[in-house]
Amino acid sequence: AAPPARRRRRAAAAWGSPTGYAVTAALVAAVTAIASALFHILDLGNVALLYLLPVMVAASLFGLRTGLFAGIASSLAYNFFFLPPVGTLSVSNPENVISVFVLLGVAIATSQLTSRVRAQADLAAASAQTNATLAGFLRQLSGINDASQAARMICEDVARLFGVQTVLLAAAAEPGLTVQAASSPNYRLETMDLAAAHWAFDNGTAAGKGSGTLAASEWLFQPVKAGDRTLAVLGVARENSGDPVRADQLPLLTSLIDQSALVLERLRLEMEMRDLDAVRTRDRLRAALLSSVSHDLRTPLTAVIAAADQLDHGATPDLTATIKSEAARLNRFVANLLDMARVEAGALKFAIEATDLGDAIAGAAHDARRALEGHQVRLDVPPDLPLVRVDPQLFHHCLLNLLDNAGRYGDPGTEIVVQGVHRYGEIRLAVLDEGPGLPPGREAEVFETFRRLEG
């Protein structure tokens, strides 16, 4: 609708509805009829009090102007039907003139007071409705942990509450603003609209239709701000090219935008915290990797260097075997690091095939023989175990690591048992040693990257 038509409707509403005046006239007529029927037992003062009833009803139900109409109509009816000479508007007794004006004054005062009470009740109801709307809006947004989902909900709720089209724009990696969400896929942003959106974002104040800046735009853009920082701009528009938001709706829209800003700022800070946690985790892994490399590479390298020194001095017993064993151990450690890197990157590929457990265990025990020296190794594996489908190379690394760990940290001279059990359709494989074991309550830490427990 055009603005002049809206102004005419508002003016008509301010003067009251025809229904209100008709009901008021009927009430005055009803009071007149009742007073006429009871006039033989009532005096003029009681009749005047009866005429205050339609004044109070009209003012409370239909507003101040209708209440004033009721006061004037009641005064005229009181004068015409009950004050002598009856049937005329003239008053013969001066005291009755005072009664008419007192009735009119009391009626007007009563109308104003009743209308004021009604206005305060309407204001309280509107305030309660606004608070309920804000509480529901914030309750929905508070459970969202994704910025794009929050943007969609903001647009949809504002569009539903105000009966408008909405669009939310924010800065992206590339220069300028990009649309984050919209209440309808049929929105249109012309060059003037985008200029208003950029102006609102850059200056932190409203721009577009209904504002003092770039009013030729069909959209009104409000900045979504957290403190002095503008996070986004919310655009609202009506399909019939009317004013996007009425003046009495602006406080509610502003409150909704403020709540939206708090939620978007929370999500932004949570994302920054997640990024920071990822950086800290990467730094911890890097430090753990360096610590592990420095610890686990030093031992085989020291043995290789010592063996090489002995070769330089002409000593040969078992030096070749030592060099080969420690070099193989070093190679296994590097292979484990590469496999771990592939697992972290999600790039580890499996070559699954049927594998004989007895052969796999015997091969791992042979490769770990240097670490198992000084221990009694017993393979308690039934010969009739079925083949298992595993990646042979990764399974070999797993067994080798378990045997190497048992040999290095088990007490010298103790027994190490590799046990296989086939029961209830599954195979359980265990490497048992007689070492100090894990500290109680810290068993799960074994599976953390580069974790080394004292025990």
Give the C-alpha distances (Å, rounded to integers) separating 262 from 26, 128, 141, 202: 54, 22, 10, 19
**Rounded to an integer, what distance in angstroms lies between the CA atom of residue 402 and that of residue 392?**
15
Question: Global pTM?
Answer: 0.45
Average pLDDT of the residues in 41-68: 79
Average pLDDT of the residues in 130-140: 70
Are β-strands 165-171 and 229-237 bridged in parallel, bridged antiparallel, or unpaired?
Answer: antiparallel
Predicted confidence band at 259 (pLDDT cuts at 50, 70, 90)? confident
List the single range of 37-41, 119-123, 126-130 with lowest mean pLDDT: 126-130
Q: Is residue 386's pLDDT more than 80?
A: yes
Q: Is residue 113's pLDDT more than 80?
A: no
Task: Give per-residue pLDDT as tens, 424-444.
Answer: 888 899 998 887 777 887 877
Predicted confidence band at 3 (pLDDT cuts at 50, 70, 90)? very low
Please give the share of the chain, as a percent, with pLDDT higher than 70: 77
Top-confidence range, 9-23, 168-182, 225-239: 225-239
Instruction: Check if 146-273 and 350-447 are the same fold.
Output: no
pLDDT, position 389:
92
Neighbouring C-beta atoms of residue 443, cutoff 10 Å: 11
Which tops the pLDDT comparison, 39 or 313?
39
pLDDT, position 192:
92
Please give the share of the chain, as a percent, with pLDDT higher than 90: 11
List the single range of 145-149, 190-194, 311-315, 413-417 with lowest mean pLDDT: 311-315
Q: Is residue 62's pLDDT more than 50?
A: yes
Q: Are 252 and 244 in contact (CB under 8 A)?
A: no
Sheet harboring 415-423: ordered strands across?
A: 376-380, 415-423, 426-432
Q: Is residue 193's pLDDT more than 80?
A: yes
Average pLDDT of the residues in 24-28: 88
- Average pLDDT score, the chain: 79
Top-confidence range, 126-130, 299-303, 322-326, 415-419: 415-419
- What are the boundaries of each domain within the chain? 3-137, 146-273, 276-334, 350-447
Give the C-alpha distances (Å, rounded to integers) separating 79 from 51, 52, 93, 223, 393: 11, 14, 11, 61, 113
Which tops the pLDDT comparison, 306 or 357?
357
Q: Is residue 329's pLDDT more than 50?
A: yes
Q: Is residue 6's pLDDT more than 50?
A: no
Top-confidence range, 19-33, 83-97, 291-305: 19-33
Read off φ and ψ for residue 99, nearest 5 degrees: -60, -40
Task: Give per-residue pLDDT as tens, 203-216.
Answer: 999 999 988 899 88
Q: Is residue 234's pLDDT more than 90?
A: yes
Q: At what angle are helices 250-312 and 94-142 packed, to 10 degrees?
A: 20
pLDDT, position 313:
62
pLDDT, position 221:
94
**Looking up tokens 């005062």, which residue turns up?**
109
Neighbouring C-beta atoms of residue 431, cutoff 10 Å: 17
Predicted confidence band at 412 (pLDDT cuts at 50, 70, 90)? confident
- Kindly indicate whether the domain formed by 350-447 is annotated with CATH number 3.30.565.10: yes
Give the C-alpha distances (Å, rounded to integers) separating 237 from 56, 160, 194, 234, 431: 42, 12, 13, 10, 71
Q: Is residue 2's pLDDT more than 50?
A: no
pLDDT, position 12:
47
Burial string for 318-344 (b: 16+ CB within 10 Å, else e) reads ebeebbebbeebbebbeebeeebeeee
pLDDT, position 78:
79
Sheet harboring 207-208: ordered strands across?
A: 177-182, 165-171, 229-237, 220-226, 207-208
Q: Is residue 37's pLDDT more than 80?
A: yes
Q: At what angle are helices 319-345 and 250-312 packed, to 10 degrees?
A: 170
Partners of 168 in beta bridges: 181, 234
**Looking up tokens 């920082």, which residue turns up?**
229
Predicted confidence band at 354 (pLDDT cuts at 50, 70, 90)? very high
Q: Are 51 and 29 in contact (CB under 8 A)?
A: no
pLDDT, position 100:
61
- Kindly indicate whether the domain formed by 146-273 is annotated with CATH number 3.30.450.40: yes
pLDDT, position 56:
80
Average pLDDT of the residues in 274-294: 72
Q: Is residue 139's pLDDT more than 80?
A: no
Q: What does the H/E/C string look like for the chain?
A: CCHHHHHHHHHHHHCCCHHHHHHHHHHHHHHHHHHHHCCCCCCHHHHHHHCHHHHHHHHHHHCHHHHHHHHHHHHHHHHHHHCCCCCCCCCCCHHHHHHHHHHHHHHHHHHHHHHHHHHHHHHHHHHHHHHHHHHHHHHHHHCCCCHHHHHHHHHHHHHHHHCCEEEEEEECCCCCEEEEEECCCCCCCCHHHHHHHHHHHHHCCCEECCCCCCCCCCCEEEEEEECCEEEEEEEEECCCCCCCCCHHHHHHHHHHHHHHHHHHHHHHHHHHHHHHHHHHHHHHHHHHHHHHHHHHHHHHHHHHHHHHHHHHCCCCCCHHHHHHHHHHHHHHHHHHHHHHHHHHHCCCCCCCEEECHHHHHHHHHHHCHHHHCCCEEEEECCCCCCCEEECHHHHHHHHHHHHHHHHHHCCCCCEEEEEEEEECCEEEEEEECCCCCCCCCCHHHHHCCCCCCCC
Nearby residues of 123 by Cβ (< 8 Å), 6 or more positions away? none
Which tops the pLDDT comparison, 98 or 32?
32
pLDDT, position 1:
39
Average pLDDT of the residues in 102-116: 70
pLDDT, position 407:
85
pLDDT, position 435:
76
Q: Are 115 and 67 in contact (CB under 8 A)?
A: yes
Average pLDDT of the residues in 89-93: 68
